[in-house]
Structure formats: structure tokens, C-alpha cells
Amino acid sequence: MTTYKRLFLSKLANVIMKFDVLVEKDAEGFYQVEVKDFPEIVTFGKTREEAIKNAREAITCHLEALKKSNRVYQQIEVPA
């Protein structure tokens, strides 16, 4: 089963950021989350909640790495 979810992060600079993710259950019963804005981020978990938690952590780490390397991520609001 494939579902879409919007994750909210407010940890960085007191700004709420939204990220659309794709959540899929694989053949072995694990959940996989792909982050639309960052195709290089793919996380897994035994449960849907664990996979989403891992995705939140991966997004936060990725944004912090961009900041440390003086690269900017400009989030664009796209109508649903």
C-alpha cells in the first residue's frame, strides 16, 4: 500500500517547513519513506511510524548539512 503524507518540521530557525513524502510497505513488511524534495533521502522502519520518524531525522540532518556547507534550501509552496 502506498500513501502520501506531509511532514512538518519546526526545529530549524523557528520556521515551520512542510515536506511531502511517499510511504510504501515493501514485500518483506518494512515501511519505506521517500522525501519528494530530497530524492537522496530514503528511510525505512519496522512500522510506519518508525519510518516517518526516521524521515524527519534524515530531513533535519540534511538541512543542517546544507546550512553548514553554506548552501541554501529554498522551499517553494506548491498548491495541492
Q: What is the pLDDT of residues 7-66, one digit of tens each?
A: 666 555 566 788 889 999 999 999 999 998 898 999 999 999 999 999 999 998 998 888
The predicted model scores a pTM of 0.76
pLDDT at 18: 83
Spell out where 1-80 has E strands: 2-9, 17-25, 31-35, 38-45
60 vs 5, which has greater pLDDT?
60
Confidence band of 1 (pLDDT split at 50, 70, 90): low
45 closest CA partner among 57, 37, 36: 57
Residues 51 and 45: beta-carbon distance below 8 Å: yes
Residue 6 pLDDT more than 80?
A: no
